[in-house]
C-alpha cells in the first residue's frame, strides 16, 4: 500500500483556496512529509493526519513556497509536547534558519531536531530503513534543489498456506521459508522453496521532482518507478517562461514520464495564473496517458 496525500500543489503564494507545495507519502507504515509551504500544518489538520506519525520531513529547496510552513510546524510539535526525534532533510542553510528563529523566540524544542543538510550535486542515499530507502534526485532549478526517490526494499517471500499444510511444517520454520530457504522433511526430502512460498510483493517506488526545469538527465534514475510526481508550472502556451524560471510545462513533465517509462505521472506545482487545471491533464495525456492531476486535499491510493 502506498498513499499520497496532496496538502498543497500550487506554485508561489498561498491563496484563499490553494496552498503551496506540501504532501504526505505513506509507504511501509512511514508517513513522510515532503516540502512544507506556509499553511501546511492547517492542511495536515484538514486531512486528519496525526502529527505524531511524522518523523521525517524532506525539503526540496529553500524557496518559500516549499518550506515557509516548517518553522510553524516545528513550533506546533513543541506545543503539543512532542518528545520523539524529528529528522529534517534539506539544503544546507535550513538548520541555520530554523535555529535562528527558535533562538529569538527563546523556545527550544523538547524533542531532538536532527538536521540532515544536503550539499551534494550527485544523487545520494539519505535514509536507509529496514524496508525502504530514500535517495536524492539532483534537480536543476534556480537554487540548489533535490527531488527524492522513495523505494521499498524487496520484502520476504509469502507463505503458501495450502502447500505448507500438506507437509506438516511447523510455524517455527516459516521464517526460513520467508527468507527463501528450501525445506528438508523428516525423510530428508528437499522441497524447493518456490513450491512452498509466493514471490514477495513488488517493491513500490515514488519519485518526487519539484521544482525543476525540463531535464531528461533524471530519467535514468527514475526509470520504471511506479509513480512520478513532476512539477508542471506552466502549460505549453507559456513554454517560453519555463526555461528562464527553471520550471517545466505539463508537456515536458509528460515527456519525462514517457522517457522514464514510469507507471503513473502526477502533475502539480501549477502556476496560479490559470483559472482551471484541467488543461494540464489534457496536455500531458496527449504524450503520457497515465497522468493524474494533483489537487489540494486529494488522496491517491497506489495499491
Q: How far is the CB of 34 from its own copies (least distance, A)?
A: 18
Alpha helix (H) ranges present in 133-222? Answer: 161-165, 174-178, 193-196, 219-222
Considering only 10, 32, 58, 68, the residue that binds its own copies (CB under 8 A) is 68
Instruction: Classify residue 232 as exposed, middle or buried by CB count within 10 Å of its CB (0-12, 13-18, 19+).
Output: buried
Considering only 30, 63, 157, 251, the residue that binds its own copies (CB under 8 A) is 63
d(CA 60, CA 57): 10
Does position 263 interact with its own copies (CB under 8 A)? The reply is no
Does position 113 interact with its own copies (CB under 8 A)? The reply is no
β-sheet bridge partners, residue 123: none
Does position 191 interact with its own copies (CB under 8 A)? The reply is no
Does position 91 interact with its own copies (CB under 8 A)? The reply is yes
Does position 75 interact with its own copies (CB under 8 A)? The reply is yes
Query: With respect to its own copies, which residue has the nearer C-beta, 37 or 147?
Result: 37
Q: What is the DSSP letter of 10?
A: B
Query: With respect to its own copies, which residue has the nearer C-beta, 79 or 171?
Result: 79
Q: Which residues, other chains included, contact 214 with Cβ-Cβ below 8 Å and sequence gap of 6+?
A: 242, 243, 248, 249, 252, 255, 256
Q: Cβ(231)–Cβ(268) under 8 Å?
A: yes
128: annotated active-site residue: no
Query: With respect to its own copies, which residue has the nearer C-beta, 67 or 206?
Result: 67
Q: How far is the CB of 54 from its own copies (least distance, A)?
A: 15
CB atoms within 10 A of CB 110: 10
Name the residues that contact its own copies, by CB under 8 A. Answer: 12-16, 38-39, 41-42, 45-46, 62-64, 68-69, 71-72, 75-76, 79, 91, 93-94, 96-97, 100-101, 104-107, 142-143
Amino acid at each position: 500500500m502506498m498513499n499520497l496525500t496532496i496538502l498543497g500543489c500550487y506554485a508561489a503564494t498561498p491563496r484563499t483556496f490553494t496552498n503551496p507545495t506540501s504532501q504526505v507519502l505513506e509507504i511501509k507504515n512511514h508517513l513522510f512529509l515532503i516540502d512544507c509551504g506556509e499553511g501546511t500544518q492547517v492542511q495536515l489538520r484538514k486531512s486528519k493526519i496525526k502529527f505524531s506519525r511524522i518523523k521525517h520531513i524532506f525539503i526540496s529547496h529553500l524557496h518559500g513556497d516549499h518550506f515557509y510552513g516548517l518553522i510553524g510546524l516545528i513550533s506546533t510539535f513543541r506545543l503539543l509536547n512532542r518528545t520523539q526525534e524529528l529528522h529534517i532533510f534539506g539544503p544546507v542553510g535550513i538548520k541555520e534558519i530554523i535555529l535562528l528563529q527558535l533562538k529569538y523566540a527563546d523556545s527550544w524544542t523538547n524533542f531532538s531536531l536532527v538536521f540532515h543538510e544536503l550539499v551534494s550535486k550527485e544523487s545520494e542515499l539519505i535514509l536507509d530503513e529496514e524496508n525502504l530507502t530514500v535517495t536524492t534526485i539532483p534537480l536543476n532549478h534556480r537554487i540548489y534543489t533535490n527531488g527524492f526517490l522513495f523505494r521499498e526494499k524487496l520484502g520476504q517471500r509469502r507463505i503458501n498456506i495450502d502447500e505448507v499444510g500438506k507437509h506438516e511444517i511447523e510455524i517455527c520454520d516459516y521464517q526460513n521459508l520467508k527468507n527463501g530457504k528450501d525445506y528438508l522433511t523428516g525423510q530428508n526430502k528437499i522441497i524447493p522453496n518456490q513450491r512452498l512460498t509466493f514471490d514477495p510483493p513488488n517493491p513500490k517506488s515514488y519519485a518526487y521532482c519539484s521544482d525543476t526545469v525540463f531535464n531528461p538527465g533524471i530519467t535514468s534514475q527514475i526509470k520504471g518507478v511506479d509513480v512520478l510526481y513532476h512539477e508542471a508550472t506552466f502549460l505549453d502556451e507559456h513554454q517560453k517562461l519555463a526555461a528562464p524560471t527553471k520550471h517545466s510545462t505539463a508537456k515536458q513533465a509528460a515527456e519525462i514520464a514517457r522517457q522514464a517509462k514510469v507507471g503513473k505521472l502526477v502533475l502539480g506545482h501549477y502556476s496560479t495564473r490559470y483559472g482551471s487545471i484541467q488543461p494540464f491533464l489534457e496536455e500531458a495525456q496527449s504524450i503520457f496517458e497515465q497522468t493524474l492531476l494533483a489537487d489540494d486535499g486529494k488522496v491517491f491510493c497506489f495499491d
